[in-house]
């Protein structure tokens, strides 16, 4: 009885340890080390349509109280906004409703 109980506990612990390992096939190599890439859930990268200005970004941030602008904004040669990174104010995951809002708009697109 003790032997079967210890075998059962061992099997359960081994299976739990394997289930906690992250299955991630997105990685790159740097200095002969495998580096795994994890998707950030508290930030979104937005690509803007041509001729979008900084005021467009400010309007987006102003309309959604859960988002804030980061310093990561990239402008093209004409000083038009091309790409911006927005993050959640509370550090939590960005809501699915917010992501759907950005997917539905034609003037910008989410970059995954």
Of 74, 63, 68, 108, which is closest to residue 92 (Cα–Cα)?
A: 68
Helix-, strand-, coil-residue percentages of the chain, each rounded to 5: 35, 30, 35
Domain with CATH 3.30.70 in the chain: 43-111
CATH architecture of 43-111: 2-Layer Sandwich (3.30)
Q: What is the mean pLDDT of residues 17-32?
A: 70
Q: What is the mean pLDDT of the chain?
A: 76
- The answer to whether the Cα torsion of 59, 65, 66, 72 is positive or negative is positive
Instruction: For residue 24, name the pLDDT band (cuts at 50, 70, 90).
Output: low
User: What is the tens place of the pLDDT at every residue in 51-98?
Assistant: 777 777 777 777 777 888 777 677 666 666 677 788 888 888 888 888
User: What is the tens place of the pLDDT at every residue in 44-53?
Assistant: 888 877 777 7
């Amino acid at each position: 009885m003790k032997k079967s109980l210890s075998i059962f506990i061992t099997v359960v612990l081994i299976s739990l340890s394997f289930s906690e390992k992250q299955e991630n096939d997105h990685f790159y190599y740097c200095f002969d080390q495998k580096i795994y890439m994890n998707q950030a859930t508290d930030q979104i990268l937005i690509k803007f349509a041509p001729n979008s200005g900084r005021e467009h970004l400010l309007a987006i941030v102003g309309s959604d109280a859960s988002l804030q602008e980061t310093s990561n904004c990239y402008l093209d040669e004409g000083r038009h906004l091309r790409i911006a990174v927005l993050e959640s104010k509370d550090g939590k995951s960005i809501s699915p409703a917010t992501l759907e809002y950005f997917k539905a708009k034609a003037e910008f697109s989410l970059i995954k």
